[in-house]
Structure 1
């Protein structure tokens, strides 16, 4: 089993250590291959709004050296973990710019069909407040990518360092992480069916791409997949 992990920063404290709890829990269940990316090291560039991914294809992104590597890792993985600390009530700028680079994966454009059968876990930590917003930002992109099974774990740790978290609070954090890891793992084992939201939006976008307003490259993409003729990207 493969799990792709994307960290919203390179600081190995609360968010990083929270993910290590999840990794250790999953490894007790079975042998899992992890591929990890740390931002901004593994995606150092901001999206410049050139629209190449929409009009010419994802491979034409000026930052494809980074974006395609992560894209392929996500496609090949059985599960995804996105982890970001809270920076001023939301995700890190590094995490946001990563998500910006994959706007072309929204269902309305050129979705990665493998996303429809993946599970994802989002982890976010804060010393104060804001996990609701950071979790929501990541969840929104995953949802519109077509991921139906999304688990969220937001932790208020009241400390900037993992080793300084108060004992009872840390125990509760670990318990929450293991609980979400358990649900995430169980979902990885199951044959997944897209949510009603995904199925409904997909049907709407079929009609959109049959119209004259669809971008040629997107219409061609949907036609090649057979999606405009009744084929579904799930069984």
Structure 2
């Protein structure tokens, strides 16, 4: 049975939220199969750059509990959705705060082997320009977590709120989200890393073989068997 994890980069239920829910509702048959997190309420406060996650382990982060609650939802999910409205050509501050806390899980450090089997969608809306910048930023983070298949949906809604979006635009969004959900359903559970992911993994593997600066990272790669012939896909 399909499971979806969504991290909303805002508290209000505006255009970005509605689009994410349109996709999710087409993927699942039960509300309980969608785990939603609204930032900043369900996320961590600002990363203070203490390096505890890198040098001592993510469990030593002062904001460990909210971060790992979201990470565990990602691990259970078939499809991950990150959404953020466009704020001055970038993600919301609260979404950036969450992404900052995920630095330890990048391929250059301690990526979760399950992330290499996930499918994801990133969504952003803007009244005018900027949504593409947001989805690009979100996709980049998912790539470095190891997620091999990430769809993007930047959408110019031409309005400041969902209630102000014109009906013809909403009708177009309904069609788009149906297509996105169909693609995600086909991809989920059948993903294979592309050349870019494999190349980056190989570079990081060589880097970890030479690693004499962070034993936690190297131990993680050794424990997974990735310094030998084993791969996470």
Alpha-carbon RMSD across the aligned residues, in angstroms, is 1.3
Q: How does 1:177-216 map to 2 (within 5 A)?
A: 177-188=177-188, 190-216=189-215
Please list the CA deviations of residues 124-174 of structure 1 after superposition, one character each: whole Å capped at 9, or x if unmatched. 111111011100111110011111110111111111221221121221122
| Aligned partners of 1:208 and 1:214 also within 8 Å | no
Q: In structure 2, do the counterparts of structure 1 residues 233 and 44 end up closer, same or farther at CA, with 3 Å as the change threshold?
A: closer
| Aligned partners of 1:58 and 1:104 also within 8 Å | yes
Provide the C-alpha distance between the structure 2 equivalents of 1:148 and 1:212, rounded to a whole number of angstroms: 25
Where structure 1 has 5 or more consecutive residues not aligned to the other structure, the ranges are none
Question: How many equivalent pairs are there?
Answer: 231
Provide the C-alpha distance between the structure 1 equivalents of 2:227 and 2:148, rounded to a whole number of angstroms: 21
Where structure 2 has 5 or more consecutive residues not aligned to the other structure, the ranges are none
Partner of 2:7: 6
Partner of 2:90: 90
Query: Could you tell me how far 1:221 is from its partner in structure 2?
Result: 0.9
Runs of 4+ in 1 over 3 A off after TM superposition: none
Provide the C-alpha distance between the structure 2 equivalents of 1:52 and 1:203, rounded to a whole number of angstroms: 26
Name the stretch that deviates more: 96-105 or 157-166: 157-166
Q: How does 1:39-188 map to 2 (within 5 A)?
A: 39-188=39-188
Provide the C-alpha distance between the structure 2 equivalents of 1:221 and 1:92, rounded to a whole number of angstroms: 31
Provide the C-alpha distance between the structure 1 equivalents of 2:34 and 2:57, rounded to a whole number of angstroms: 28
TM-score, normalised with respect to structure 1: 0.94
